[in-house]
Amino acid sequence: MKFRRTLLGLALAATALTFGTGAMAQAAYKPEYKMSLVLGPPTPWGMAGQIWADLVKERTAGRINIKLFPGVSLVQGDQTREFSALRQGVIDMAVGSTINWSPQIKELNLFSLPFLMPDYQAIDALTQGDVGKQIFATVDKAGAVPLAWGENGYREVTNSKKPIRSPEDLKGMKFRVVGSPIYSDMFSAMGANPTQMSWADAQPALSSGAVDGQENPLFLFTVLKMHTVGQKFVTTWGYVADPLIFVVNKDVFASWTPADQAIVRQAAIDAGKQEIVLARKGLTEADKPLLKEIAAMGVTVTQLTPAEREAFVKATRPVYDKWKNTVGADLVTSAEKAIAARKK
Ligand code: X2X
């Protein structure tokens, strides 16, 4: 009897242990995961986060439930602190621009090298090839799990003063620039007066006229109706484009079952593909409907001739050369080769 009781006790203990561990793994899942974004829906960037969150919820039957925090509100709007907060676990996951994480990961400045990527095929040649893999290895080493690529887009220059056709046109004009110092270097090299500030601060600065201009993908121009804050001139110079990266905090990723990790990864890949289509909409068609839409707002849209564009390439070349070493000369050389060999 005593023996049987002991056996029963052991069996019960074993069962408790099994269930106990199960319950513990279960408990490691948070009721809600915090996703950081600079721009929310309906921008393509915001849609990247929304699509990812929706796919994950659906495919995990609600086990992984994600809430979007646009405006980088988890770091009080300071987008240059997003990656550090992600690494520390203040943020669980993010869809972030390579520009905003460049202060922590210098290799990400690759995409900000002026006129490195002449067309969309060049962006794809980097993100979808070996260079993309190298960059992901660097992001992983820096402390987060990279899962997929998305796209913010080609950053075109806008201002309230006059059409920009040559570097001389920028002389003396005040521009809001993003958080990596390479942007200050580029605008200074062109003779402009750059001020680095967050996107949250940029909007009032444009409204009040504290700055004359800014640079961002053009969907942002239409979504925010930038002509209403005096931005009457747009030049499509295509000097840089920033990809987006879908990432998860390392501890959070490790807390999920391998099956759920695979689901989150595939959902990021699927969301990234869908989002890249949205980010390029209106710009890859031959007649570029987005430019027409902006012109219809009473904005002067200037498209550069190849010779005019070349003047900007020349003016910013010293910045390219200087930053090539910061990014890593080998990585930049690999990128240049991948672009030269791209499908057109
Ligand atoms: O701050 C910007 O300009 C933005 C929204 O494009 C980024 O976050 C890089």
Q: How many Å apart are CA 115 and CA 117, to the nearest integer?
A: 6
Tokens of 305: 């001739």
Specify the CATH number for 29-152+242-280; select among 3.40.190.170, 3.40.50.720, 3.40.980.10, 3.40.718.10.
3.40.190.170
Tokens of 217: 């993908």
CA of 5 to the centre of ligand 1 (A): 67
Triad 82, 118, 44: Cα angle to 5°: 40
What CATH class is the domain 156-240+286-340? alpha beta
Taking the CA of residue 39 as reference, the ligand 1 atom at the shortest distance is 5
- Is the CB of residue 260 less than 8 Å from the CB of residue 93? no
CATH 3.40.190.170 residue ranges of the chain are: 29-152+242-280, 156-240+286-340
CA of 38 to the centre of ligand 1 (A): 7
CA of 133 to the centre of ligand 1 (A): 24
Per-residue pLDDT of the chain (344 residues; tens, 9 = 90+): 444 444 444 444 444 444 444 444 444 899 999 999 999 999 999 999 999 999 999 999 999 999 999 999 999 999 999 999 999 999 999 999 999 999 999 999 999 999 999 999 999 999 999 999 999 999 999 999 999 999 999 999 999 999 999 999 999 999 999 989 999 999 999 999 999 999 999 999 999 999 999 999 999 999 999 999 999 999 999 999 999 999 999 999 999 999 999 999 999 999 999 999 999 999 999 999 999 999 999 999 999 999 999 999 999 999 999 999 999 999 999 999 999 999 98
Among protein residues, the one with the nearest Cα to ligand 1's atom 8 is 38
Q: How many Å apart are CA 14 and CA 122, to the nearest integer?
A: 58
Taking the CA of residue 96 as reference, the ligand 1 atom at the shortest distance is 8
90 — phi, psi (to 5°)?
Answer: -70, -30
Tokens of 290: 């987005």
Taking the CA of residue 79 as reference, the ligand 1 atom at the shortest distance is 8
Pocket of ligand 1 (CB under 6 A): 38-39, 79, 97, 99-100, 152, 178, 199, 216, 242
- Is the CB of residue 264 less than 8 Å from the CB of residue 248? yes
CA of 37 to the centre of ligand 1 (A): 10
Taking the CA of residue 214 as reference, the ligand 1 atom at the shortest distance is 3
Q: How many Å apart are CA 264 and CA 113, to the nearest integer?
A: 31
Among protein residues, the one with the nearest Cα to ligand 1's atom 4 is 199
